[in-house]
Homo-oligomer: A and B are copies of this chain.
Amino acid sequence: MEIKSIGVIHSPYKEVGDAPRQGHLSEETFEIEIYPDFLPGLKDIENSSHLVILYWGHQSRRDVLQTKTPFGPEVKGVFACRSPNRPNPVALCVVKLLKVEENRLLVSGLDALEGSPLVDIKPYSSQIDSVEENQES
């Protein structure tokens, strides 16, 4: 399964360690550049206040299955934590859409490093993407 880069993320974070643990902890503005071939896919995107951004963690390790987290000494499986290192480093951020300028989206709330390949954009919907946690299960 081959992912094609549909654009690129321009970020103030240049290297691993520059970015915050999660995008919602960032106060920076990011520019998401969509490549011209995919521009028709943006039609009506300005109607969304928030977007789900999927990007490729191009500086992530893909051979890590367990890791420590910033929250304690325990070793967790990568599928049980939000480590950027995982077999398929597809990172997910819910961002606020600030402005649309042709093939450029200005957003906040991202944690991507400069040059991260863009995988997908979806309109965020609290009805679809938000749940109450810790329900009895």
Contacts and interface: CB of A to CB of B under 8 A. Distances in A.
Interface residues of A, number: 64
Contact of A87 (B4, B97, B132): B4
- Kindly report how many copies of this chain are found in the complex they form together: 2
Nearest to A42: B77
Interface string A18-38: 000011100000000010001
Contact of A90 (B54, B134, B137): B54
Given A75-B43, A80-B42, A123-B81, A131 B1 contact: no
A3 B1 contact: yes
A137 B45 CA distance: 14
B82 A131 contact: no
